[in-house]
Amino acid sequence: MKVPGISHVKARMDKRIRESAIQAAQSRIILAGRKATDLTEDELEILVKEEEDRIRGQIKEKGLFAVAAALGLGWWL
């Protein structure tokens, strides 16, 4: 049984991650001394996907540490 609010929260979170990933990808492009117009749509999508994966990984890592801290396992990690 699905809870109606869960899908809405997930969609909002996905949107926020996507927006952050786009900003991070733009920063990477600028730091590389290039312009977004120099890249193809596929290259831009790959950059954004890499940033999304990085952000999701950070969220999971922080969540794991938060659970460990809540359980008092900080010294074991």
Q: In the 8-state DSSP scheme, what is residue 39?
A: S
The total of other beta-carbon atoms located within 10 Å of residue 43's CB is 13
| Domains contained in the chain, number | 1
pLDDT score recorded for residue 52: 96
pLDDT score recorded for residue 56: 93
pLDDT score recorded for residue 67: 76
pLDDT score recorded for residue 1: 53
Residues 6 or more apart whose CB falls under 8 angstroms from that of 63 comprise none
Sign (positive or negative) of CA dihedral 7, 9, 14, 19:
positive
Residue range 25-73, pLDDT digits in tens: 999 999 999 999 999 999 999 999 999 999 999 988 888 777 777 777 6
pLDDT score recorded for residue 75: 54
H or E element at residue 60: helix 41-70
pLDDT score recorded for residue 14: 92
Domain of residue 62 covers: 4-76
Q: Which two tokens stand for residue 44?
A: 């831009």
Q: Which two tokens stand for residue 50?
A: 């890499």
